[in-house]
Structure 1
Amino acid sequence: MEIQITTRDVQTLSCDALIVGAARAPQNGQEEKGIVLSTTAAAVDKLLDGLLQERAQAGEFQGNLGELLTIHPMGRLAAQRVIVVGTGAQAKLDAQAIRRASAIATRHVQNTGAKQVVLAQGWQIAGIDEALTAQAQVEGALLGAYRFRKYQKSDNNQKSIAQLLLLASEAKKDVYEQALHKGQVLVEATNFARDLINEPPNVLTPTELARRATTMAEQAGLAYEVFDEAKIKELGMGGLLGVTQGSAQPPQFIILRYQGDPQHSDKVLALVGKGITFDTGGISLKPPADMDEMKGDMGGAAAVIGAMQAIAALKPAINVTGLVPTCENMPSGTAFRPGDILRILNGKTIEIVNTDAEGRLILADALSYAEQQGFSPIIDLATLTGGIVVALGHTMTGLFCNDEQLTADIIAAGRTAGEKFWPMPLDDEYGDMIKSEIADIKQTGGRWASSVTAAKILEHFVGNAKWAHLDIAGTSYGDKKSYQEKGGTGVGVRTLTELALSLAQ
């Protein structure tokens, strides 16, 4: 898809679809109808003799988030169609509302066969940053237009946008160019992560994940290293070796390095991603329903790899290392068992209770490695527990952190990226639930507070480093919605990148 800035007059701007925005007007407790038009929408409304406001007054369109109104200008504009997309209540108008509205509208016009689309949701009102608005439009459009169709031999209904234009004033063209670049970088990395998650597990094995990560690294200018099974054994990564021993696929430990601040090479932000390329549950076998979605159990790994791509492109003055332990969790005669004890890289032992709680075992090795290297802060992402889905659903990612400032930084980065995080407890009392009588710790604390006890296990492997654990089990993989495909969401890519940018400052 070609993406460009245009500064042409809206009346003469030829395209298949012109996307403008409208918010729901304040109601003041009354039933009156009304919308607040974005800057370009107001100009279009004037050219069409008030048609947009007229349709709103008639009750055809109220400006609710994602609501669409199609207008055919009948030659009064060069655009074939004007798509008015609702951004929700004016009082709640922000970059995320614009991002979602842009995604919904772009996905809609793509499905109708539009080839040339213009984004014109610019808002010139108090509290709305024009550059962030421009970036949000680009991000929303590219996230909404994403499709994963590489394994379909033919799709007669498949349609795609050829050219996407972002409307800007001549005076703000440079601002919009920068916003377009950043938005495009962030979404290309997010969609790369989505591709990895959506790949079938017979294709995306641990070896293939390592190949794709290192290919990206070569293209992005990142240093990289991959530990094979022999090196993993030499280091004593017993968690990774234990989980993988039931699979015919060998494990990999992927390291990606970005050095944006060579004068302070001892200061490194570490990003750690759980990379289970397929999770059957092992001996503690999962039920068949929805097991196909377990190809997405490497969503944390995908997020880290995608974030490293974006960080390399945006070049913040910070050093970042991505660590991805990856393997399969399969049942076989060689699989690890409930009752086994595994020794992790830092020497601590874990009593196995349920082989379907495997992610914490490979993360334990990766976090131990990060801690031994002196990295701080350390942030891990993992589709770790069903418990976090029970607690927070599919809207927010659970955030467990041992440092208040890092918690605030992650939440702020997520807000900028349009991703939500909710702080969860790490109180000492939860540690009692993972005490073992025969090992240093027990692999699970049982049903209650399961996401918290999983985080408490990880806490044993970070030493004194500042550390955050992001449980993305509810946000990494989603059902089909009006603004995204069913499958991987790429959650975490943009937040991690925004965090690196903010820490660099």
Structure 2
Amino acid sequence: MEFHVKSGSPEKQRSACIVVGVYEPRRLSGIAEQLDQISEGYISNLLRRGDLEGKPGQMLLLHHVPNVLSERVLLVGCGKERELDERQYKQIITKTINTLNETGSMEAVCFLTELHVKGRDTYWKVRQAVETSHASLYNFDVLKSKKDEYRRPLRKLIFNVPTRRELTLGEQAVNHGNAVAAGMKLCRDVANMPPNICNPAYLASQARQMAENFDKLTVTTVGEEQMEQLGMNSYLAVGRGSDNESIMTVMNYQGNPDSSARPIVLIGKGLTFDSGGISLKPGAGMDEMKYDMGGAAGVLGAMQTLVEMDLPLNVIGILAGCENMPSGRAYRPGDILTTMSGQTVEVLNTDAEGRLVLCDALTYVERFDPELVIDTATLTGACVVALGGQASGLLANHNPLAHEILNAGEQSGDRAWRLPLWDEYQSQLDSPFADMANIGGKEAGTITAACFLSRFAKKYHWAHIDCAGTAWQSGKNKGSTGRPVPILAQFLLNRVDASSQE
């Protein structure tokens, strides 16, 4: 779908539909008041009759409003003006897009970006409207033999900004919103793909397809033979029970004019299916374990956003692809693994496999002399218990990096919450037979998982995003959310802004 920005008065708009807001109780927004005056009180008369209260998400579609050039006017309930916040704004945009799509308005001019949202400027409102619109129209139906199609779907949406001076800002917001949305779509498409199609080789193929379209991106892979040479025994152990080869995909984006600039490294856990291995998961809901590659899907999506925005950064994306299956070749509880770093790990539970893959990936990326490393993973059920589906867990060995990521989460709406990474938790990983165990007991499961990873990230600034609760939704609306693409993309954008101010 196309998105544009313009600045103009509502009475001059020739469009299939004009979208304006109505506050509760039955109070017209500034733009709606203008339309009401043009129509000689037509809209306010309808409201007095009780046709629309202005409650959040209420919709009233009007046809042939007197003296208005557009065919339709869509009145959108926005709730109480002083209470309009970010969450409600996105909900209103979602409901608006769905209504326009169902009513045959193939194009529309939307004035909702002129609403007052506490603490947010025109850039934020336009960009979030673009991202939210894309997300609300997303549908994964590539494997359906019969597809639901709208007869006259929405194809073009124009967001109005208050003044011509804000057009450049609005256009930038549209470009950034489209790029983030493209990354989220790729993330969702890959994550929603069934595990009989999406395996580690498929992740690599998606990265190669991206590289074919962008000169600054190159892709290489590390297969099992090379992993063996490198001593990545922990990574290899996890995938040993599967017939699908473990493949680590390395995406190298060189956007910084200074080719010697140290790279930012993003690592995504890519368990394309996690049965739990010998420590088999319960059968109910196991189909959702195709989403255990949500971290890798997020990194892949963030790289898509990065190349579309052509940011002047050097970034390396790692897709740590693997499949955890039970078989006669599978690794076992009680095994002791020697990681690439030389540290040894006693396996107490083969379902705590993501950290065993990530620890070797964290050691592998030392060769890039990174400026910083962020790994993201659907790592622990404990994070879902602690934070639900609203915020990802964040742990880091460097306070400024943690603050940067938290700030990016607030800006993008893809929020994270920091948990402690104190030394007192490390003793829970003690093992009588190896340097550490791969689990730390029932208490503080998200923290002890990060403690485990921290032992392999001592040579650089590092942060860990546990997106187990945010990467996908369960139930009737089961599917990938596209997170953590927004927080990673915003982090990279902020890095560019910071460097330009130095």
Shared fold by TM > 0.5? yes
1:212 aligned partner, one-letter code = Q
> Partners of 1:137 and 1:439 in 2: how far apart?
52
Q: Is the 8 A contact 1:40 1:121 kept in 2?
A: no
Counterpart position of 1:155: 147
Q: Alpha-carbon deviation of 1:288?
A: 1.5
Identity rate of aligned residues, in percent? 35
5 Å-filtered alignment, 1:300-379, equals 300-379=295-374
Deviations 1:367-410 (A, max 9, x none): 11123432131111101111011111111111111222112111
Superposed, 1:56-71 pairs within 5 Å as: 58=50, 60-64=52-56, 67-71=57-61
Among 250, 255, 262, the residue aligned to 2:245: 250
Letter in 1 for 2:284: A
Q: Residue 258 of structure 2: SS of its match in structure 1? A: helix
For 2:31 and 2:478, the matched residues in 1 are separated by 32
Residue 184 of structure 1 deviates from its aligned partner by 0.7
Contact 1:274 1:301 in 2 (8 A): yes
| Correspondence for 2:124 | 132
1:145 to partner: Cα distance: 1.0
The match for 1:178 is: 172
Partner of 1:207 in structure 2?
201
Gaps of 5+ in 2: none
Opposite residue 423 of structure 1, the aligned amino acid is R
Q: Which residue of 2 aligns with 1:192?
A: 186
2:185 counterpart SS class:
helix
- Contact 2:42 2:65 (C-alpha < 8 Å) held by counterparts: no
- Determine whether 1:164 maps to 2:154: no
State the alpha-carbon separation in 1 of the partners of residues 324 and 48 from structure 2: 55
Measure, in 1, the Cα distance between the counterparts of 2:445 and 2:48: 48
The alignment partner of 1:298 has SS state of: helix
The 5 Å alignment of 1:414-425 reads 414-425=409-420
Corresponding position of 2:5: 5
Deviation at 1:57, TM superposition (A): 9.2
Q: Choose from 221, 224, 230 the match for 1:229.
A: 224
2:64 aligned partner, one-letter code = M
Secondary structure at 2:252 match in 1: strand
Structure 2: which amino acid aligns with 1:490?
G
Contact preservation (8 Å) 1:276, 1:359: yes
What is aligned with 2:212? 218
Aligned residues: 491
What residue identity is the alignment partner of 1:173? L
Q: Supply the distance in 2 between the matched residues of 1:417 and 1:500 (Cα, whole angstroms).
A: 12
SS at match of 1:500: helix
Residues 187-196 or 55-64, more deviating: 55-64
Offset of residue 451 of structure 1: 0.9
Asked if 1:115 is matched to 2:106, the reply is yes
Aligned-partner Cα distance in 2 for 1:53–1:489: 41
CA distance in structure 2 between the aligned counterparts of 1:223 and 1:310, rounded to whole angstroms = 15
Residues 438-457 of structure 1 correspond to what in structure 2 (within 5 A)?
438-457=433-452
Give the 3 Å change call, closer, same or farther, for CA 172–503 of structure 1 in structure 2.
closer
Question: TM-score, normalization: structure 2?
Answer: 0.91
Structure 1 residue 258, shift from structure 2 partner: 1.7
Question: How big is each residue's C-alpha offset from its partner over 1:239-276, in whole Å with a ceiling of 9 and x where there is no partner?
Answer: 22111101000011111112232426242211110001
Correspondent of 1:492 among 478, 484, 487: 484
- The residue type equivalent to 1:496 in the other structure is L
Structure 1 alignment gaps of length 5 or more = 25-32
Determine the C-alpha separation between the residues in 2 that align with 1:4 and 1:328. Answer: 43
Partner amino acid, structure 1, of 2:60? T
CA distance in 2, matches of 1:212, 1:346: 29
Residue 395 of structure 1 corresponds to 390
SS at match of 1:411: helix
Secondary structure at the aligned position of 1:337 is classed as coil
Residues 61, 367 of structure 1: alpha-carbon distance in 2 compared, 3 angstrom cutoff: farther
Specify the alignment match of 1:18 in structure 2.
Answer: 18
For 1:98, which of 67, 75, 89 is the aligned residue? 89
Counterpart in the other structure of 1:28: none
